[in-house]
Each structure stands twice: as C-alpha cells, then as structure tokens.
Homo-oligomer: A and B are copies of this chain.
Amino acid sequence: MSIVVVGSVALDSVETPFGKVENALGGSATYFSVAASFFTSEIKLVGIVGDDFPQEHVDFLRSRGVDLAGLERVSGKTFYWSGRYGHNLNVAETLSTELNVFEKFAPKLPEIYRNTDYVFLANINPELQMDVLKQVGDTKLVVCDTMNLWISDRKMELLDTIKHVDIFVLNDAEARQLTGESNLNKAAKKILDYGPHRVIIKKGEHGAVTFTRTSYFSSPAYPLDHISDPTGAGDTFAGGFLGYLASTDDLSETNVRKAIVYGTVMASFNVQDFSLDRQRSLTKAEIEARFAEMRAITQF
C-alpha cells in the first residue's frame, strides 16, 4: 500500500559532543521516507528544495525507491537548519533556521498521489497539513506529527487539523504543552477528545506509549551505549511505524504495537550515526534482529 508523506527536505549542520556534519541530508520527509523504504516500496514524497540541493541526495532517495514526482525544485536555497546538542542529547539548541524556499511551500499533490491509503503529515504548519488532506481522496489512515512552535503559534489551526487525523504522534513535552496536563495519561485522554482515534507519545530514551479509548501500550527504547546524533529520530520512528503498517495493511491493535516497535528499532539505528548515515548501510536482517531483541528485553 502506498504512503504519501508531506514535510521538509533539508540540509542540516549538526554538532554533538561526538562529532559534526555540515550541509548533511536532513528534513522530516527525508527521514520518514528512508525509514519507511525498508518496509514498502511505494513512498510518494511531497516537498520542496532549492537549486542548490545536491544531485547525490536525489540519487540516494531514488535508490531507496522513493517517488519524487512531488518534490518541487525551485530557484533559491534549500531549507537549512543548524543545531547543537550538549551531553544529555535530549534537547537541541537551534543555531539557525533558514526557511529559504520552504517559506513559500504550498504542497501540491501530483494527480497520481491523490489516491493513497496512507498519509503522513510530517511536522509542518498545520494549515498546510490541512491543505494536503483536502487534496487526497478517501484514505485508510492519516498520521500527523507536529512541534512546539505550532502548539504555541498555531494552536487553533493545529486543533482543527488533528480533528481530521486518525493517529496523532508527538513527544511528551509537546503533549504536556498542548493540553496543559502534567500527567501524561490525562494529557493523552485530552488529545483523544480533540479527535484522533489514537495518540502516540514519544519519550526519547524512555520509549513510546500509545493510547486509544480502550487500549494502552508501552514500548521501551532500544538500549544504546552511545548516541551520535538524535536529529530525525522522531521522523525515523514514524517512518518505521507507518512503513510497517502500510506493508502489512493490518490496523489491528496487535499489529499497531508491532509497528511501534519497528519504529523504535528504526529510530535506534538512526541515532547511532549522523544525518541518515546509519540507514545507508542498514539491512533488513539487522532490523529483524533488533526487533527480536526488543521482544527479549520486554518479556517477563
């Protein structure tokens, strides 16, 4: 089953205590697509880049089977983000955000994208997310992400958008910020009242939890001795999650739980190197082995 993903395609400069990269491949749609490509070959990306976007990145995305018919290329510079992480690696300090061509981004879905079963609205302005929803026909599952900026600056628009999504994915700080509830259970229940059928709350090194009105599931993170660069972990999680779901086309509670664990596994690989570099050499066998380990470390 195909997935349409709308989000950013970017060039990132990132510094952590363990190294740095400059103008490396980044962006929410990029991380999502590459992670999902390990599970399904039908990923249709909607995004925008400038004329400085290196051909090698286009080639890499194509080599992963990502459909780039929806990737606009316009004159100007590609979205650029630079940030730094300290020793705790939980919070990025943004050094600069240059929206560049992304500022004028108005997602237009190619005709062949409009008939899709799965949609991922990566972290962009909720008004644009809504525009995308208006362009797709009947879907099986719409998953939506966001960030603190939209919660503070576009809260009404965000609440409007998530009324129309099936699964809302955000991190624990964002869930607390959006609902004003410090207790995560209460925050989750409030979010379900806003409309989504399911909420997934990412907790970084503490794993992820998911709530519906009748179910609850908690997955730990995969234990790692070393994290090189946490950039893109959330989008990689979403890519593994929705990639697995779309490939199995099974939305049962049991399968959604497996999808969350696959998302966790993909994120755990991605943070072991800078940019998407770990995913460049990753194999399906490595993913399956780590999935099996997740079972082993949670069983009692």
Whole-angstrom distance between the Cβ of A184 and the nearest chain B Cβ: 7
> How many angstroms from the CA of A206 to the CA of B207 in the assembled complex?
9
Interface residues of A in 191-239 (CB under 8 A from B): 203, 205-207, 209, 216-220, 223-227
Q: Which of B183, B218, B260, B299 meets A220, CB within 8 Å?
A: B218
Given known A-B contacts A184-B205, A205-B184, A220-B218, A258 and B300 have beta carbons under 8 A apart: yes
Count residues on chain A whose CB falls below 8 Å from chain B CBs.
34
Write out the residue numbers on chain B whose beta carbons fall within 8 Å of the beta carbon of A186. Answer: 225-226
In the complex, are the beta carbons of B219 and A300 less than 8 A apart?
A: yes
| B183 in contact with A217 (CB, 8 Å) | no
Within the complex, which residue of B89, B216, B227, B300 is in contact with A297, where a contact is CB–CB below 8 Å? B216
CA–CA, A72 and B263, complex, Å: 55
- How many Å from the CB of A210 to the closest CB on chain B? 10
Which of these, B218, B223, B260, contacts A209 with CB under 8 Å?
B223
Q: Report Cα–Cα, A225/B261, bound state, in Å.
A: 24
Residues of B within 8 A of A185 (CB): 223-225
Give which listed residue, B182, B206, B216, B219, contacts A87 with CB less than 8 A. Answer: B182
Tell me the bound Cα distance from A98 to B258 in angstroms. 51
Is A278 part of the binding interface, using a Cβ–Cβ cutoff of 8 Å? no
A88 within 8 Å of B (CB atoms)? yes
Does A297 lie within 8 Å of B183, measured CB to CB? no
Cα A227 to Cα B186 in complex, Å, equals 11
Q: Does A254 contact B (CB under 8 A)?
A: yes
Can you list 20 contacts pairing A with B, beta carbon distance less than 8 Å? Answer: A87-B182, A88-B182, A183-B224, A184-B223, A185-B223, A185-B225, A186-B225, A186-B226, A189-B225, A207-B218, A207-B220, A209-B223, A217-B298, A218-B297, A219-B300, A254-B300, A257-B300, A258-B300, A261-B300, A295-B300
